[in-house]
Each structure stands twice: as structure tokens, then as C-alpha cells.
Structure 1
Amino acid sequence: MKEMDRLFGSSISRRSFIAAMAAGMASAAMDCMDWTRIQALAAAVEPKSAYPVVVIGAGMGGLTAAAYLARSGFPVTVIEQHDTPGGYATSFGRAGGEFVFEVSPHYTVGAAQYLEDLGIRDRVELIALPEYCRVVTPDYDLIFPQQNPGEIIKLLSEKFPQEAEGIRGLIGQLMSLFQELRQPIDPKTIASTHPTMWSMSNQTVAQFMNKYVQDSKLKAILFALGPALGLPPSKLPALAYAGGTAPYMVAGKVRIKGHARDASLVFVDVIQRRGGRVILKTEVETILTKEGSVVGVKTADGKTHAAKAVVSNASAPATFEKMLAPGVLPDGYMAKLRTCRPSISSIKVWLGLKEELRGRIRGYQIAVAEGYDLEASHGASLAVDASKAPFGVFVYDNAYPGYSKPGKSSVSLVMLCGYEPWRKFEADYFAGRKEAYQKEKDRITQMLIERTEARVIAGLKSMIEVVDAATPLTNMTYTRNPEGAIVGYESSMSNFGMTRIKNRTPVKGLYLAGHWGEPGGGFVTVMKSGQSTFKMMMEDWGQKTG
């Protein structure tokens, strides 16, 4: 039981729970680790050759962990089943390179610290986006400014004067949380030193919002300002919403200049320049163990790679249920894992246009909603009702001049969706029989294009030169994420913070890095996951050498 508590945090005081959860949130937003201590631990682990590491998967969580290891002198081998590194952080070309489309990320915050740690800050350029976001509803079309919570309060108060006091109170709470996340945390005094965090800790977003505002239209707009975690306000933890919204609102959103795949390749270069290896198009079939400890991995081609530690950036279900032999993990641990649910998935539509949109269409990130009932909207997403589900429009050329070639524009449409409506296509899809699936994908693609034309980009259909689309089954094909999950396990009230699966597993030497473990999904969040796993490894190895 004590082992389960350590790994899942199931028996822990509320004060300790919030303190640990807040520490993770804070370090994800602004790195606060004692790197002098971690670097000293890494330097003391000798000889480095006795500590080979295999990283399963070249998503950003895996690449980040591997880059930290390689920079510290440890021999590391990254093994990726796909032919391209990066996981969801990648890009692809169409029409002979006329257009380059992003899978993700569309925006981020807080990535600079990790780039500086790894010595690549000058190789991955981050640029501030022109605005926080644009929100389009049946009654409103609002542009929210970057790094200006006061202006956001003013804008919303002008539209909802009867809610002005509540708007100030709610956004004031977000700002208070942001400040609290920057302060040291002592579980004994957290209720008094971090009152905002304390009050939010056992609330859903719905409960949090209801304390301040009542207008359903206002609530829908406020919810659109938060992170897309795929749960409705009744199920999403208030701290997940607030902790994901406040840093963007204060620090501002940025994106990579260029393409995500270029950034992923920079991480690969860091690993290789320090003597590490990145092996593509190779699948790890088995994590090898002996007497409860990791000893290596075996790949589908029959090769064995010895390892002192294995970091899995693969999905948690694949790691624990397919790669490990039965009986290696405690029954209680497996039972707990099976209570976790994969997150929501998505449909993405990429459009290459034969006209320039920059200066003609307002906004880079545009959230579009058909109504204000957030629970019903979530239901439409789960049901893949493309006529009613909210979706996002990303006009890449509004991020900075020159994203697309002269005379062209690149746009993506993103709709969160459930997996169940796609399950009926699964067997045929993976058997190569895609006729019915393709018909449904095309229907949804056209519906999203029509809604975008009606609400955001007039005349869109006449501009289209290239169309491509991806569904949850596409996600499964390229990333192997169960049900096409886009942020690992869902961040529900029972699976957030200290109750989320830990990166240090019951198998000695086996760690996780990425969105299935802690702290969760998102571009910079999985970078934080990889960094945290490196820290855990140094602490574990440092104890032996110390």
C-alpha cells in the first residue's frame, strides 16, 4: 500500500497534496528546480558508461529527457517506431512543398528555459503572437490582447456590465494564483500563504466560475480563454483551467518561428552531438527486466539494447500492458491504471490557400462556438457532431510575415472529438478498407470548412488549393496513442496533480516521460515531464554514488 501511495499519492493530506501539485504546476510555468544540486548529482554519477539509457519514443517528452541525459554525458539511445521524430510536435509538406502544415504545437509558454538549459535557445526562435486569442460566438466577436489582464477585464466588463465585479474577481483569482505559483510552498502553512490555490484545490471549473459570474454567454467566453483539455466545466479541475490560463494571460502566448519538425530535429541534433543515438522506424516490443529491475529492451527486429534505465515516452497502456511481462507490475498498480481514461482526441483539417490572408482576417487563434451550453457543446464534441461542436481556426500567416510562400496562406481547423463514433471504422481502417471511413472524414471536413467560411473566412472555398485531414484513427496510426488521445490520460478531478500516474514506476529503472505521466499534456508540459524524469534519475543514481 505504501508503494501505491508513493506512486499515485492516494493517501496524502490535502495540504501535502496541494503543495506537491502546486510545485509541479509552478515548475511547468517557470522552472524552479534546484539545478545546481541536480547538476552536482549528475556530475557525481561515474563512470557514465555504466549508466546507459534507452528512451522509447521520440515525442517531445522523450527527446527532452534524452537531451538532458546526453548533455550530462550519459550514453542514451532513443528508439522511435515512426520515421519522423517529434510525436505530435511535427510538420508535413503537401503539394511538393508548396505548403507545410503543423500537427502541433499552435502556441506555448515557458519553453525558453528548457531551450537555454540544453544550449539551443539560439537555434529555436520563439515569437510572441499578435494577440491572446479571438473568440467568435453567435453574439460576439472579440479579440483579447496579449499580456494585459486589465484590458481583458475592461473588454469583458464592457460587454457584460452587470458582471463587471465578478469578472474582476475571477480574473483577479487567476492573477493571484499566478503569483502564488512563484512562491515557495510549505504544506504546513499553505492555507494561509497560498489561499487562492487552497480554495481552488477541490473545485471544478463550473464551481469556480459560479462563485463569480452567472451569465452563460460570459462563462462560455471565459472557458474558451483556457487550455483545451477536453473536459467540460463540470469535470475539469479548477486548478487545471486556472493553472493553464494564468501564465498565458500574464506572460503571453508564443509559437515557434518556422515549423515544429525543425525544433524536434534540433533536439535530435543535441542528442547525437553528445554521442547519443536516435533510431527511427524501429519498434520496441519488450522491456526486459530481471529481479524487478530494468536491464534493457528488445526491438521488433530481434535486437537487444542493454540499459541501466528505460524512459518510456510511449503510451502508458502500451508500456505497462504490452511491453512488460505479466506479473512484473503489482496488481494494485495495474488496477489503478485501469481506472484512468485516455483523453479526448481531435479532428484536424489543413488548408493550403491560393490567396494571402494576412491583414485580411483578424486573429491567429480563433475559437468558434455555436452556443453557450458548455456541457452540451462537450457532448457534441464527444459525438463528433461537426455542426455543433466548438472548434478552432489557426491562421498561421497572422503569426508572422512569411510563414507561407508569397501568394499563399496556410490554415488549420481543429475540433476536439470523442473516439467512440470512430470505433466502428477501426478494424476496416487498419485492414486497409477505408471507403466508409473516408466518406465520413470527408463529410466532417466539408462541414468544418463551411462553418469556417460562414463565421471566419468569407469566400474560403474558392481559395482552397490543398486539403488534408486527420482523425483519431490517424493519430493512432502515427503515434500509437490509444483512442487517438491528444493529451495522454484525461485530467479529471480524480486524475490530476498528485493523483496522476507518476513518472517513477514500480519497476526499478523504468520511468515515464510525456503526456501520459506527470504533469500532463501540452508542448511545454511534456518538456517539463522529460526534465522532471531526468531529475528523478539523477536523484535515484545520486543516492547510490553518494
Structure 2
Amino acid sequence: MGYDVVIVGGGLGGLTAGAKLAKEGKKVFLIEQHNKPGGYATTFKRNGYTVEAGLHEMDGLDEDDIKPKIFKDLKVFDNVEFIRVPEFYRFVNERVDIVVPDNAEKAIATFIKKFPEDEQGIRKFFKVIVDLRREIWKLPREKWKVFLALPIFPLVFRNLVSYRNETVGKFLDSIVKSDDLKLVLIGNLGYYHNDPYTMSMLYYAAGQGSYYSGGGWYIKGGSQKLSDYLSRVITDNGGEVILNHLATKILTENNRAIGVEYTKKVPENSEGLKVFARNIIANAAIPNVANHLLSPKASRRLRSQIENWEIACSILTVYLGFKKPVKELGNKHYSTFAFHPSVQKQSDILKNSKADFRTRPFCFVDYSQIDSGLAPEGKSLSVIATYDYISDWENLSQQEYRAKKEEVAQIFIARLDDLIPGIKKEVEYYEVSTSKTMRRYTLNPEGTAYGYAEIPRQAGMRRIRQKSPIKNLHFASAWTFLGGGFTGVIASGYFCAEDILRE
């Protein structure tokens, strides 16, 4: 049977693309190697808890955000409940303890009160990131690449040119005196990248400006609700979603993608299956597509396009189930970012992100602050997240790997107990997910959770586009335009579907 579109991968990018195409009458066939759709947007069950695999909060949902348009089109708001997070985040180090509002004007007032000597820099910071974010979504997508090449840029989009090569670290150094204020302003840098001095201002502003304009949101019951709904849109409109199957080859003919070869994951080495379509969407890591899924000739074309692109770091997560709601233990905030005393200034962050787990910065997310629907009555679920690298876990035996995970879990539970005294004794479940875990479940190289690193030369408008050098092969994932995060992959999938429909 022929299809209009075959999608390799059921992460949010593939699901969004598939849902849009199916809704518009295209016959969609989606292949996912995991036993559930969603990629990082999934949950799993443990000891009565619904454990959120990846989502801490989703940015925006205001009038300047792209997601409401997409969600209204796909009727997401009618089928998935979003809960507003109470504030942006709390930042803590040995000198500063401050709660950051998720509204630009309130945040400005909060920062000026704490750092009055930097009032001018504070106002400049918020004006630039909010204006940049607005310009990014105001400029038509098909004109971004053209506009950036122009020597004279329309005045209404002047920030896009001014900051296209800028990094967050350099920008902050140019406007802010206080090192602690700089650290607070990038307290949640881990949402995007691991180094302010290589973090793209455009990508940072798109995300950070969205939180300050539209706040943060969580999906009640977990991100799996969104993934399952988008999967249903595909099947309810005549498409197919095949789980536990692995794509092994993208079939090409005369530099044109024509189909996909795939197999059941269990039993291994089962007979190969083939499906053909007018268009193929790879909701998969682009390096994997280039290195494993294409013929040698097609692979060379794609590899030449991604040569020297840097892969981002990953995330280590400690999932925690508590005997009672954490908010009853004295914690008052949804997200807390804690920096070790060894981080005195921006230039310390990258080194610290690769240091011993006893000193790496971490984020604590307390889902009990909202009606998350994740824990049994009278209990609560939380997570601790920090930077991670596949090099932390390679070359370990299975026994050594398990022992190191246990050691890391105890390190972070102890650090959390320092932050919230007495919380350690309330833990009844914990589990550690590493970059190696990420690689196993998503197949992403190096277990990255972000795709390509968000550095100026490969972020934002310079990002690889949805269309590949192989005809009829498209991309929809964190590895392509716009980049990682829920907003990035949802927009990537939707834009990819629009491109196919337009053609």
C-alpha cells in the first residue's frame, strides 16, 4: 500500500508533522522504535507514580508564541490540559536567593530592587530579549535566510541582525556589572546549553523571552498526554502509527527518497519490511540519518551539509517519589536552580558543568506546587536535573555503571537535603537517567537531549532547514530548524508539514 508520507520517529516533531498532514487528508505512516510515542515527551509508571521523563515546563502560549496557532489548528487545547506554573524560577547560590517572576515588568522590578546599581543593564536585557523574540516570530519564515543576507535590514527587524552573531555571555558582560546578577539572569541556562559564552543570543531570546512574555506551563498528567493525543490525530484521520519497529534504511532512487525499510525490534533480525511514499520525514537524529539510514551516495550529500556541526551535551535526571507533597516540607517554588560556590562568574559555568557531580549546578522541579496529576493521593513527584555527557558513563562495566548511578543519586539527594532540610527521609522512590539512558531510548548520538548545540554559527536562522539535499526527504526534530526544546520540535514538525502541503 502506498502512502503520501512515511515518518521515521515518533517524537514530538514527527507526531506534530504527522498530525497536521493527516488532518489535511494525507495518508500517513509513522514508525517508532520505542513502545510508546513521544520521544522525550513521555511518561512511565513506577510504584504508583507517573514519572515525567523530560518536561519541566513549556514556555509561552501567549499571542506572540507560535504554539497556540499550532495547537488551535490541531485542537490540542480541547484535548490536553495545560497548567500555569506559579513563577519562572528560584535561583540560589551562597550569596543570592531570589525568585524570578515569569513576567518581564515584574522581573525588572525584582532585579532592580536586588541590584539597583545595574538598573540600566537590567532594562536593556529585558528590552533586547523580548524584542528579539517578537521579531523572530514576526518575520515570515521563508524570508529569514534572505533577510539575514541583506547588507541593509528593515528597521523593524534590526535586533535580528545586531545580535545574530552575539553570545549571551558577551551580551551580559557588555551591559551588567554584577557577576551575581549575570548568574541569576542565566540561572536556567541548562534549558538551552552549557556555556553562556557560546550560547546563541537568538535562540536564547526566543526561549527566555517567551517565558517572560507568556509564562511557563505544564501538561496535566504528563507530556505523554500530548504525545498520545497527536498520535490519535494521525490514526483517527486514517493514518497508521507502528510502535516497536525500527527503521533500518531510507530507500532512494535517483537522489529521491521513495520509501523506508524497517523491522520489528523483537525478535531481533526479523524479516525486513518496506513501505513507500511520496515524501519521507526523518524525525530522527540527522547524524543517524546520514551515517546509518542512507545509501553511500545519498549519505555523502547529507554529511557534507552537517560536517563540523557540534552536538550538544545531555541531561542527567534523578526521578524522586516522596511520601508526602514536597510543598508540605517547606519548599515554596516549582523550579529551583542551585549553583555551587565554585561558580563565581559566567566563565565558571562550562567548567563546572563538567566537574564532579558534587559541584555541578542542578535544577529541582517540584511538581507538587501544581495539580500535576503525577503522584498518588498524599504523595508527590519531583526531579533533579543537571548537565551530563556520554563520556561520564562510557567504558564502565554494567556493575560499575549501576554503582555510579547509585552514587550520583545519593550525592544529589544529599545536596537536595541541604537545600530543603529533612527531605531525604521522605524519599520512597528514586531512579537515575543518564545520557546513556537517553541514547538507549531515543537513539540520539551521545545521548544528547538538545540535538545540535545552540551556538551562533548553527543556531536559529542558520539552522539546518526542514528540506534535505535528497529530494522528498524532510527533517522534523530538535536537530533541525528551530532547534531543541518542546517549542522547537513542535514548530519544526508543523513547518515541515506545511512545506510538504505547499509542494
Give the letter aligned to residue 310 of structure 2.
R
Cross-structure match for 2:10 = 58
User: Which AA in structure 1 matches 2:388?
Assistant: C
Query: What amino acid is aligned across from residue 159 of structure 1 in structure 2?
Result: K
Check whether the contact 2:44–2:52 (CA below 8 A) recurs between aligned residues: yes
Give the direction of change, closer, same or farther, for the CA distance of 1:402–1:422 in structure 2 (3 Å limit): closer
1:323 aligns with 2:293: yes
2:285 aligned with 1:310: no
SS at match of 1:198: helix
**2:378 equivalent to 1:407:** yes
CA deviations on 1:309-337 (whole Å, 9 max, x unpaired) are 11011111111110101012445x41341
Equivalent position of 1:114 in the other structure: 70
- CA distance in 1 between counterparts of 2:208 and 2:16 reads 24
Single out whichever of 523-532 and 402-411 deviates more from structure 2.
Answer: 402-411
In the alignment, which residue of structure 2 is the partner of 1:349? 318
Cα distance per residue 1:87-124 (max 9 Å; x no partner)? 000011111xx211101221113333322111232111
Give the deviation of 1:236 after TM superposition: 0.9
Residue 469 of structure 1: SS of its match in structure 2? strand
Task: Give 1:213's match in structure 2, choosing from 152, 176, 185.
Answer: 176
Cα displacement (A) at 1:215: 1.4
Report Cα offsets for 1:6-27 as digits up to 9, x if no partner: xxxxxxxxxxxxxxxxxxxxxx
Tell me, in whole angstroms, the C-alpha distance in 2 between the residues paired with 1:54 and 1:467. 38
The alpha-carbon distance between structure 1 residues 406 and 254, as it changes in their structure 2 partners (threshold 3 A), is: same
Correspondent of 1:364 among 321, 334, 358: 334
**Equivalent residues of 2:463, 2:480 under 8 A apart:** yes
- Aligned-pair identity in percent equals 29
Distance verdict in 2 for CA 1:288–1:397, change over 3 Å:
same
Partner of 1:105: 55
| Counterpart check, 1:67 vs 2:19 | yes
Sort the Cα spacing of 1:64 and 1:196 in 2 relative to 1 into closer, same or farther, 3 A: same
Task: Name the CA shift for 1:464/1:217 in 2 (closer, same or farther; >3 Å).
Answer: same
- Tell me, what secondary structure is at the counterpart of 1:154? helix
Q: Which moved more, 1:175-184 or 1:275-284?
A: 175-184
Superposed CA deviations along residues 424-476 of structure 1, whole A, max 9, x for unmatched, are 23xx4xxxxx1001111111111111111102x21121001111111011001
What's 1:199 paired with?
A: 162
Whole-angstrom distance in 1 between the partners of 2:479 and 2:23:
25
For the 8 Å contact 2:190–2:387, the answer to whether it is kept is: no
Q: How many residues align?
A: 479
Contact kept? 2:58, 2:486, Cα under 8 Å = yes
Counterpart check, 1:158 vs 2:158: no
* Pair 1:373-2:348 in alignment: no
Label 1:510 to 1:178 Cα distance change in 2 as closer, same or farther (>3 A): closer
One-letter code of the match for 1:525? G
The match for 1:466 is 429
Query: Aligned ranges for residues 162-177 of structure 1 at < 5 Å?
Result: 162-177=117-132
Q: 2:64 is matched with which residue?
A: none
Partner secondary structure for residue 401 of structure 2: helix
User: What is the correspondence of 1:481-492 to structure 2 with a 5 Å cutoff?
Assistant: 481-492=444-455
Deviation digits for residues 179-206 of structure 1 (CA, Å, limit 9, x no counterpart): 4345447836535222333221221112
Alpha-carbon deviation of 1:375?
A: 3.0
Question: Which residue number in structure 1 is paired with residue 411 of structure 2?
Answer: 447
Task: Check if 1:137 corresponds to 2:93.
Answer: yes
Paired letter, 1:311: I
What residue in structure 2 maps to residue 127 of structure 1?
A: 83
The RMSD of aligned alpha carbons is: 1.9
For structure 2, the 5+ residue unaligned runs are 62-66, 264-270
Aligned mates of 1:452, 1:390 — CA distance in 2: 12
CA distance in 2, matches of 1:286, 1:210: 48
CA–CA distance in 2 between the matches of 1:421 and 1:225? 22
Q: Is the 8 A contact 2:10 2:37 kept in 1?
A: yes
> What TM-score, normalized by structure 1, do the two folds share?
0.84
Cα distance between partner residues in 1 of 2:317 and 2:488: 21
Distance between the aligned counterparts of 2:56 and 2:80, measured in 1? 15
8 Å contact from structure 2 (residues 219, 225) kept in 1: no
Instruction: Indicate yes or no: 2:201 matched with 1:238.
Output: yes
Query: What's the CA shift for 1:294?
Result: 1.3
What secondary structure is seen at the aligned counterpart in 2 of 1:414? strand
The Cα of 1:522 is off from its aligned counterpart by 0.5
Q: Which of 357, 365, 368 does residue 394 from structure 1 map onto?
A: 365
Deviations 1:217-274 (A, max 9, x none): 1111011155622231111112222221111101111111111112211111111110
Equivalent AA in structure 1 for residue 400 of structure 2: A
Partner Cα distance (1:329, 1:145) in 2: 47
Q: TM-score under structure 2 normalisation?
A: 0.91
Instruction: Note if contact 1:226-1:245 (Cα within 8 Å) is conserved in structure 2.
Output: no
**Aligned mate of 2:485, from 510, 513, 522:** 522
1:474–1:484 contact (8 Å) kept in structure 2: yes
Instruction: Find out whether 1:77 has 2:29 as its counterpart.
Output: yes
CA distance in 2, matches of 1:183, 1:230: 25
Distance 1:70 1:490, change over 3 A: same
Contact 2:21-2:501 at 8 Å conserved across structures: no
Distance 1:178 1:435 in 2: 47
Determine the C-alpha separation between the residues in 2 that align with 1:131 and 1:167.
19
> Structure 2 CA distance, aligned partners of 1:262 and 1:73?
24
The structure-2 alpha-carbon separation of the partners of 1:280 and 1:375, relative to structure 1 and needing over 3 Å to count, comes to same
Q: Conserved in 1, the CA contact under 8 Å of 2:338 and 2:363?
A: yes
Pairing 1:85-104 to 2, within 5 Å after superposition: 85-95=37-47, 98-104=48-54
SS of 2:186's equivalent? helix
